Structure 1
Amino acid sequence: MSEEENIRIHDPASGATQKEYDASDLESVLRVREWRNWDEVIQWLRTEGDNHRRLTPGEVRNMVADMERARQRGVQFKPDAQYLWRELKQTVPG
């Protein structure tokens, strides 16, 4: 476990189930380790995401849902927070 994951910050919203993540949350996840694909990140978020000091359960859930949609759309995984942010927050018609 990285030092960043180990130290939790008291945040009254940390228990929020509907809180939306932002680009800095993606950056924090990308610093955990070198990710190779969507599956690795999604699996880690499901098993370890709630323990990461920067993420709330709602942020983890929303990030997983967005990543699963991006994977299904065939979006290429790149460990770049700005690229991922644009791809994950892209509105898909329909």
Structure 2
Amino acid sequence: MKNKDTIYDIVVHTVNLILLGAIGFLAFFSVVNISPHRDPISDLFGFGTIIFLTVMWAINYWFQIKKRKWILPIAGTLLFVAIALFILDVGIPFLYDTFIR
């Protein structure tokens, strides 16, 4: 029983470290902008997206640690990626076009 808990912890921590690395990668490239024309509203949307992804990741991680079921790392990761891609590809451009332009 102890060995299963250790393996579960290793899997959950590894998967969530990869997800957190992806959020950090997005945060780095949303901060580093080499174009001469910077849009402060675009920076605000980028900052809000990073905050949303970090909060969503923290809730996912907490839920996986609390429940300790093997389906949660798989389902949680797939849901996180699906929601993040939806927000980044559909949500943010829609909000930007609706309220800013």
Q: TM-score, normalised by structure 2?
A: 0.35
Larger Rg: 2
Q: Name the structure with the higher helix share.
A: 2
